[in-house]
């Protein structure tokens, strides 16, 4: 089997990116495996949108890249009826949860999306819901998706874009000016340009999703339950005390009635590997 792992010997769990080490990302999401599904409001919404962007025809080989707890493995199996379904995630604990809770026949692979252990031109569809924003180099992931897709194969991928969690960011800036307290997200233009370089085209559709919370603490709890809290290696680690959090809650903008909102800038990437395109 011709795999990308052999092409990327630099990848290991200790490699530090602007979004943390691979080991810390896998650990955080693994620790959230049992709580993830009940907190996954955004993930369900965006995954359903992705399902609607899939080709109508069945597909022989399908990969869910960053499958997490496997929320969309069963829908993918029903919609595309593949002969082979690959469930890939960086976190072995997430894969264990998915294997135990999803009624699918899948090949379970603990692997990095920047080094996918699948053969060249072996997949008809790569589906990836809210994973690529955790990778240090989204273009490398897109190149890996291109590599494993057969000519004519489809990539449907969702991500979060710049402007996500802006209310939380502004509140933190009022409490701790100049310090980053949310994860870094790419701009729509960056993602569009990366698609164009890799696939020769493609589309980035955008949507602003606003979720309501009774209190800012509920937002922070949801992010933790998802394993999606701030992971940058240079993040400030001394601001989790009650006093700082109280300041954050005070600065967070309130809606009528005292509830709060969080904005998520969703990006849906759709691209097709051209027939006859070389790796």
Q: How long is the chain?
A: 279
Per-residue pLDDT, 24:
87
Average pLDDT value for residue range 113-139? 96
Per-residue pLDDT, 17:
53
Q: What is the pLDDT of residues 136-190, one digit of tens each?
A: 899 999 999 999 999 999 999 999 999 999 999 999 999 999 888 899 999 999 9
SS3 content of the chain, % helix, strand, coil (to 5): 40, 25, 40
Lowest mean pLDDT among 153-167, 191-205, 229-243: 229-243
Residue with tokens 């252990």, as numbered in its chain: 117
Q: Is the pLDDT of residue 7 over 60?
A: no
Average pLDDT value for residue range 222-233? 79
Considering only residues 165 and 22, tell me which one the structure prediction assigns the higher pLDDT: 165
Considering only residues 41 and 181, tell me which one the structure prediction assigns the higher pLDDT: 41
Contacts of 267 (CB under 8 A, 6+ apart): 158, 159, 160, 161, 188, 191, 204, 205, 206
What is the rounded average pLDDT for all residues in the chain? 90
Residue with tokens 């409001």, as numbered in its chain: 41
Give me Rg for the CA atoms of the chain.
19
Q: Is the pLDDT of residue 244 over 70?
A: yes
Per-residue pLDDT, 242:
82
CA 15 – CA 87 distance, rounded (Å): 23
CA 5 – CA 76 distance, rounded (Å): 26
pLDDT confidence tier of residue 237, bands split at 50, 70 and 90: low
pLDDT confidence tier of residue 21, bands split at 50, 70 and 90: confident
CA 21 – CA 13 distance, rounded (Å): 6
Q: φ and ψ at 99, to 5 degrees?
A: -60, -35
Contacts of 214 (CB under 8 A, 6+ apart): 258, 259, 260
Q: φ and ψ at 222, to 5 degrees?
A: -65, -45
Per-residue pLDDT, 197:
98
Q: What is the pLDDT of residues 62-114, one digit of tens each?
A: 999 999 999 999 999 999 999 999 999 999 999 999 999 999 999 999 999 99
Burial 216-245 (b: 16+ CB within 10 A, else e): beebbebbebbbbbbbbeeeeeebeeeeee
Return the closest-CA partner of residue 93 out of 15, 27, 23, 39. Answer: 27
pLDDT confidence tier of residue 232, bands split at 50, 70 and 90: low
Per-residue pLDDT, 16:
45
């Amino acid at each position: 089997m011709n795999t990308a792992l052999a092409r990327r010997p630099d990848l290991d769990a200790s490699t530090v990116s602007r979004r943390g080490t691979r080991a810390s990302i896998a650990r955080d999401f693994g620790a959230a495996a049992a709580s993830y599904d009940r907190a996954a409001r955004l993930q369900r919404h965006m995954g359903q949108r992705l399902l609607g962007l899939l080709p109508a025809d069945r597909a022989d080989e399908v990969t869910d890249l960053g499958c997490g707890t496997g929320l969309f493995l069963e829908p993918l199996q029903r919609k595309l009826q593949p002969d082979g379904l690959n469930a890939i995630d960086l976190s072995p604990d997430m894969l264990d949860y998915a294997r135990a809770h999803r009624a699918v026949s899948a090949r379970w692979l603990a692997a990095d999306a920047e080094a996918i252990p699948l053969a060249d031109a072996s997949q008809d569809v790569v589906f990836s819901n809210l994973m690529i924003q955790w990778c240090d180099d989204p273009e490398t992931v897109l190149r890996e998706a291109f590599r494993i897709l057969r000519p004519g194969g489809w990539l449907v991928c969702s991500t979060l874009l710049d402007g996500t969690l802006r209310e939380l960011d502004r509140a933190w800036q009022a409490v701790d000016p100049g310090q980053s307290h949310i994860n870094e997200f790419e701009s729509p233009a960056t993602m569009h340009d990366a698609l164009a370089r890799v696939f020769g085209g493609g589309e980035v559709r955008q949507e602003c999703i606003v979720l309501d919370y009774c209190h800012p603490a509920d937002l922070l709890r949801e992010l933790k339950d998802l394993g999606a809290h701030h992971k940058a290696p240079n993040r400030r680690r001394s601001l989790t005390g009650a006093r700082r959090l109280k300041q954050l809650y005070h600065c967070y903008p309130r809606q009528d009635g005292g509830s709060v909102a969080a904005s998520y800038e969703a990006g849906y990437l759709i691209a097709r590997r051209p027939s006859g395109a070389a790796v």
